[in-house]
């Protein structure tokens, strides 16, 4: 009887070993190890969509901007190594909820709809939506944007700019762009009449494309505030991030970071 049990255990061990080798070949073992490593409490996984200068973007292959500087300072304050996790904008909240990142620091506006899914820190910057257009046409759309923008308006998918256009100008033809630079290029080629995005990005693009004839439409289309997103259950990180923001506001570091990337910021 004991021999039979020993043979059964041997067979089970062999089966388990073969299964392990099969899982390794399929990458399942590697996935489990990666997930365990990603939960390292010494690492701060920061979710970003680096396509929104000056808030978060790539320069020379490096992720830079307002959010990148603040993420570095937050990580230092928490004693955690910052790892940026790039994700499409429309997938950022899902990525956070699935515990593949710890915090979203990507120029995200605080909205009621987003609050149903995740928690936000206290606001750290007041912004709004503005429009980029061609120089000489800045005032053409002020009275009746919907009827004048015959070539349509550009927005980035899943943003508050898209929501604004859907809600306030449903008759406008919308065209979607992954980045502000792509939208600006379409403006130059007259494929769209306006590109709507948050104030920092619009002013950044206006400066970048001034020589190519782009300018800002002189009106703010909405008022919004930005915050960092965390999982609702992660109250420890939420409290720590809020304490960090308060300290940065009080010692002037937050304003200095804004001024670095947004000259003339007040």
Longest dimension (CA), the chain: 94
Domain membership of residue 112 as a residue range: 40-126+225-261
Residues 167 and 190 in one domain: yes
**What's the pLDDT at 20?**
34
Question: Both 173 and 197 in a single domain?
Answer: yes
pLDDT digits (tens, 9 = 90+) for 1-10: 433 333 333 3
Q: Residue 2 has what pLDDT? A: 36
Mean pLDDT of the chain: 86
In a domain, 18, yes or no: no
pLDDT at residue 41 tops 50: yes
Structural domain includes residue 30: no
Report pLDDT digits (tens) over 14-30: 433 343 334 333 333 33
Same domain, 153 and 229: no
Residue 147 pLDDT: 73
pLDDT at 204 > cutoff 50: yes
Domain count, the chain: 2
Position of tokens 């020993």? 6
DSSP conformation class of 109: B
- Read off the pLDDT of each residue in 198-211 and give the average, rounded to a whole number: 94
pLDDT 10s digits, 71-98: 999 999 999 999 999 999 999 999 999 9
Least confident of 1-10, 43-52, 113-122, 238-247: 1-10
52 and 67 share one domain: yes
229, 109: one domain? yes
Same domain for 138 and 119, yes or no, is no
pLDDT of the residue at 13: 37
Question: What is the arithmetic mean of pLDDT over 118-144?
Answer: 92
- For residues 170-174, give the mean pLDDT: 91
Strands (E), 42-193: 43-48, 51-52, 56-59, 62-64, 81-86, 103-104, 119-120, 125-127, 129-134, 153-155, 174-176
Predicted pLDDT at 141 = 85
In a domain, 27, yes or no: no
Together in a domain, 98 and 137 = no
Is 19 a domain residue? no
Looking at the domain assignment, is residue 98 inside a domain? yes
Q: Which residues of 112-193 form beta strands (DSSP E)?
A: 119-120, 125-127, 129-134, 153-155, 174-176
Q: What is the pLDDT of residue 6?
A: 32
54 belongs to a structural domain? yes
115 and 236 co-located in one domain = yes
> By CB neighbour count within 10 A (0-12 exposed, 13-18 middle, 19+ buried), where does 97 fall?
middle
User: How high is the pLDDT of residue 30?
Assistant: 31
Q: What is the pLDDT of residue 22?
A: 40
pLDDT surpasses 50 at 148: yes
Is 250 within a domain? Answer: yes
Within a domain: residue 15?
no
Statement: residue 127 has pLDDT above 50? yes
**Tokens matching residue 197:** 């995005």
In this prediction, residue 262 carries a pLDDT of: 87
Mean pLDDT of 62-73: 98
CA distance 52 to 73: 20
Tell me the CATH number at 105: 3.40.190.10
Claim: this prediction has a pTM higher than 0.85: no
Per-residue pLDDT band for 266 (boundaries 50, 70, 90) equals low
**What pLDDT was estimated at residue 264?**
67
Residues 121 and 245 in one domain: yes
* Same domain membership, residue 167 and residue 111: no
112 shares a domain with 163: no
- Residues 53, 117 share a domain: yes
């Amino acid at each position: 009887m004991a021999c039979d049990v020993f043979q059964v255990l041997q067979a089970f061990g062999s089966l388990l070993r073969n299964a392990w080798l099969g899982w390794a070949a399929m990458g399942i073992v590697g996935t489990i190890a990666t997930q365990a490593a990603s939960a390292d409490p010494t690492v701060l996984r920061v979710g970003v969509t680096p396509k929104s200068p000056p808030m978060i973007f790539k320069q020379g292959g490096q992720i830079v901007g307002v959010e990148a500087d603040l993420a570095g300072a937050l990580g230092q304050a928490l004693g955690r190594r910052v790892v940026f996790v790039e994700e499409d904008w429309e997938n950022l909240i899902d990525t956070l909820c699935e515990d593949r990142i710890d915090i979203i620091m990507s120029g995200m506006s605080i909205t009621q709809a987003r609050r149903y899914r995740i928690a936000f820190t206290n606001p750290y910057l007041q912004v709004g939506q503005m429009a980029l257009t061609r120089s000489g046409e800045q005032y053409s759309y002020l009275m009746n944007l919907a009827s004048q923008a015959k070539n349509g308006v550009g927005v980035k998918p899943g943003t508050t700019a898209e929501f604004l256009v859907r809600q306030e100008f449903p008759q406008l033809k919308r065209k979607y762009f992954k980045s502000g630079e792509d939208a600006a290029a379409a403006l130059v080629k007259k494929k769209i009449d306006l590109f709507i995005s948050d104030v920092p990005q619009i002013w950044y693009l206006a400066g970048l494309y001034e020589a190519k004839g782009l300018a800002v439409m002189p009106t703010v289309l909405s008022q919004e505030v930005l915050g960092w997103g965390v999982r609702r259950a992660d109250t420890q990180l939420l409290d720590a991030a809020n304490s960090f923001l308060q300290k940065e506001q009080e010692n002037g570091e937050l304003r200095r970071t804004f001024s670095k990337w947004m000259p003339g910021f007040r």
